[in-house]
Amino acid sequence: MTEFWLISAPGEKTCQQTWDKLMGATTGTSNLSINNKFNIPDLKVGTLDVLVGLSDELAKLDTFVEGVVKKVAQYMADVLEDSRDKVQENLLANGVDLITYITRFQWDMAKYPIKQSLKNISEIVSKQVTQIDNDLKARASAYNNLKGNLQNLERKNAGSLLTRSLADIVRKEDFVLDSEYLITMLVVVPKLVFEDNESGLFSVTLFRKAVDDFKHKARENKFTVRDFQYNEEEMKADKEEMARLSTDKKKQFGPLVRWLKVNFSEAFIAWIHIKALRVFVESVLRYGLPVNFQAMLLHPHKKNMKKLREVLYDLYKHLDSGAAIIDASMDIPGLNLSQQDYYPYVYYKIDCSLLDFKV
């Protein structure tokens, strides 16, 4: 299970009591989830108006940053091609696997100084991740062009004799060159049906004036005359271009993977900080001042998710009698749920299945 539930509830007499109450209800014999405290520092609250506006902005920023995290991860998988089993070991946050990072989350004071206002911190994240997104587009475009050009050349040298390049098959001595009257043509002749379905390549030297007649007769017999002129300079240029592209791809590969690794980590860390900001803002809006809430990270056991949701509802229904246990997946006529499900406690999902690639 790669799904986590980041929730918060107001402090009882102390925040520790809120934590103990959750642990008592969800762990031990009930074994509904594995829980960790989620540490959010004392952030600057600001005014209520700013918090309300920021709540909407952070929701959009959350979606955007998650999208960038997924794009960087997916492109890492694309670049590693045959080494996709190595994708996971390259997708780390601060040098540790993602689950470890989330469950041991510590606010990065250097990147996101808590003396700044909440709006400023969200703008730092937005600017940082927008830059990663722009850089990814530029780097991916350059690498994809290179890779595409190389694949086109490789494709020309592979496949059936009917379509592939013949430059690496024929030799100079197969041709009559520089003759005023004679020309050598290459003909693809299907092998006999009972032999196999492939073809053979034959060189045929004939008078130039007989070319059209020869092509006509070849078509009648289902032979394919290839449009090929022996040109050593062109053949040499093609080989050199292929070697150059192959070398350039190898040169770019290492630095690109390193860039993806570093910037995946940056984007993922930014994403989890956005989740922390959202919990803080929403908790202040719901539970009021002074700031007094406990943020908690739950890792539900898949088979117990429904039961866990019910237990949490029983624990926290007194916070908001209007909030029912409703999933967005339930189709209830007339009820328009936003993308974020609503519960009596603050809740945000963190889904790491962004790493479930189509291999």
Per-residue pLDDT of 113-162, as tens digits, reads 999 999 999 999 999 999 999 999 999 999 999 998 888 877 777 777 77
Say what the pTM is: 0.81
At 354 the pLDDT is 65
| Choice among 163-167, 266-270, 297-301 with the minimum mean pLDDT | 163-167
pLDDT of residue 333: 43
pLDDT digits (tens, 9 = 90+) for 210-248: 889 989 998 998 888 888 887 788 878 888 888 898 888
Does the structure show a pLDDT above 90 at 202? no
Note the pLDDT tens digit of each residue in 44-76: 998 989 999 999 999 999 999 999 999 999 999
CA distance 191 to 197: 7
Q: What is the mean pLDDT of the segment spanning 330-344?
A: 55
CB 7 within 8 A of CB 295: yes
Residue 321, pLDDT > 70, answer: no
The set of residues, in sequence order, having a beta carbon less than 8 Å from that of 326 and lying 6+ positions away, is 332, 335, 337, 341, 342
| Mean pLDDT, residues 205-209 | 85
Give 153-181 pLDDT, tens digit per residue: 777 777 777 777 777 778 888 888 888 88
Sign, Cα dihedral of 338, 271, 114, 57: negative
Tens-place pLDDT, residues 1-20: 689 999 999 998 899 999 99
Q: What is the percent of the chain with per-residue pLDDT over 90, rounded to a whole number? A: 58
Residue where the block lists tokens 């117990």: 304
DSSP for residue 196: -
pLDDT exceeds 50 at position 194:
no
CA distance 258 to 263: 9
pLDDT band at 317 (very low <50, low <70, confident <90, very high): very high
CB 164 within 8 A of CB 157: yes
On whether the CB atoms of residues 64 and 129 are closer than 8 A, the answer is: yes
